[in-house]
Amino acid sequence: MGALSEAWALAIEALSQVESRRLNERLALLEASRRLSINHAAAIGLAHKLVIETVRRQNFIDALIDSAMRRSETDSSLSLGNLNSRLRAFLRLFTYETKIPRQASYERAVKIAKIGRSILGWRRMMRIESTLGVLLGLEKTAVLKGLGDVEKTSLTVFQSPWFVKYCFRLFGRAVALDYFRSSLTAPPTYARVNTLKMPEAKILEEMADEGVSLSRVSGLSHSYEVVDQRVPLARTSGFEKGLFSLQDKGSCLAVEIAAPEPGMTVIDACAAPGGKTTYIAQLMRNQGRIYSIDYSRRRTALLGREVERMGVEICEPIIGDLCNPLPMKEIEADLVLFDPPCTSTGVIGKTPSTKWRISKRSIFNMAKLQWKMLSNCAEAVSNDGAIVYCTCSVTVQENEMVIERFLKLNPDFRLVEPDLWLGVSGLRNQSFSQRLYPHLHKCNGFFVAKLKTGD
């Protein structure tokens, strides 16, 4: 099997796993690589691009396929829904590769179809042979005819109609469209250098020697945008030695707004996989105590490995469900950093499968969960302590409205202005809350607010 065939085999398997097991694209590709025993970097790289770009445009791709199936002269009952998951995955990948971003040649389409037959078998492929032919001759604009504004917009910006309407109301049409367009590409990769291991200047030298080109992020203490790299960052010796962590700007901003100091007692709530815990320890210079809580044994194991890799000595991992009172009843924390589960609407540029899994109901369900967990975290804050609340969601229900409700029912807390600003003020007149957007700040969408007790 050549590199191109290996890439398509990986992509078909991974895209099938994204749908059937609700894995994100990265985990699905790792699982596909393991199952098929394909480890060639070129094949994995091409498969990753195929999967990400297909998932990113899935609603438009499905509309093209549905239109082609209706025009097909074979099985009138044929639909995407009644296809085998791997055949459905191939059909979506084929549509992306031959129709988006440009029309493929007939020869290219035939080559891809042959690869599909070699992977899936010619008997299975016979069900969609007619559809493949119709797709090649189908005008992309045909699926937009007769649609209303929201439905047409949802197909052209590759978003669910309900989310288009939601963002139009929340941000206004122009800003919402900027946000949607920015989500068609992943934000830059950011690295946070780890001064627990060695001085920053020496880390930068070692990374440069390994072909990693960096640009410092203005306003943050140890964060750099990755401009270029010779090999995947996770495969460098610097990463293996814990010299840096891959951490988005918003995540680093939240830790720096929290401002942990040496000797503090800190709770990192919903801590796995450990990026914030390790940065807290770095700013505390490994002096004090961090209680890192997560509900999952698997995720807590990931946290433990990250803590070890980064040279953190003051972390105590704890398995606990924050929907219940915290398991350390005797602990009074100087600081709680709380990054709860959310709809992840701020990371759809990086993980586009997220946008097809959530609904408007998801927002309200998450907000209820976040409120409950935040209330339990507040019980552990000492007098004159602080909570930093953050999410990678752009919805108002999961952010400003959670803060409003919390402050109304907890008058001993107040929202304070952060010492560090990278973003824009929050919505609903929350001038001390802070938001980051991919179209403005070249990072994931993010929200952060700092709440303090005492005067």
Query: Which pLDDT tens digit goes with each residue over 192-234?
Result: 999 999 999 999 999 999 999 999 999 999 999 999 999 889 9
Rounded CA-CA distance 32/25 in Å is 10
What are the pLDDT digits (tens) for 406-425? 999 999 999 999 999 999 99
Query: Of 203, 231, 246, which marks where a domain is finished?
Result: 246
| Domain around 217 | 190-246
| CA separation for the pair 157, 138 (Å, rounded) | 20
Q: Which of 202, 218, 246 is the last residue of a domain?
A: 246
H or E element at residue 388: strand 381-391
Which of residues 161, 182, 203 is at a domain's end?
Answer: 182
pLDDT of residue 74: 62
The pLDDT value given to residue 1: 61
Instruction: List, edge to edge, every strand of the sheet that includes 244-246.
Output: 213-216, 223-228, 190-193, 244-246
3-class SS at 317? strand
Are both 311 and 341 inside the same structural domain? Answer: yes
What pLDDT sits at residue 328? Answer: 82
Whether 270 and 417 share a structural domain: yes
User: Which residue in 167, 342, 377, 392 is the catalytic one?
Assistant: 392
Q: Are residues 255 and 316 in the same domain?
A: yes
- Both 310 and 235 in a single domain? no
Residues 10, 95 within the same domain = yes
396 and 263 within one domain: yes
Do 114 and 223 reside in the same domain of the chain?
no
The enclosing domain of 227 has a CATH number of 3.30.70.1170
pLDDT given for residue 71 in this prediction: 82
The pLDDT score that the predictor gives to residue 103 is 86
CA–CA distance, 249 with 200 (Å, rounded to integer): 18
Helix axis angle, 275-283 relative to 249-258, nearest 10°?
40
CATH of the domain at 56: 1.10.940.10
d(CA 261, CA 258): 9
- The per-residue pLDDT for 76 is 64
Residues of the chain short of pLDDT 70, as ranges, are 1, 73-76, 455
Q: How many domains does the chain have?
A: 4
263/380 same-domain check: yes
Q: Are 92 and 168 part of one and the same domain?
A: no
Q: What is the CATH number of the domain that holds 359?
A: 3.40.50.150
Shared domain check, 226 and 172:
no
Residue 4 class from Cβ within 10 Å (0-12 exposed, 13-18 middle, 19+ buried)?
A: middle
Residue 270 bears catalytic tag: no
What is the rounded CA–CA span in Å between residue 316 and residue 277? Answer: 10
| pTM for the full predicted model | 0.94
- Phi, psi at 426, each rounded to 5°: -70, 175
- Tell me the pairing of strands 223-228 and 190-193: antiparallel
Beta strands in 203-314 (DSSP E): 213-216, 223-228, 244-246, 265-269, 289-294
Q: For position 174, what pLDDT does the model report?
A: 97
Q: What pLDDT shows up at residue 73?
A: 62
Whether residues 70 and 212 fall in one domain? no
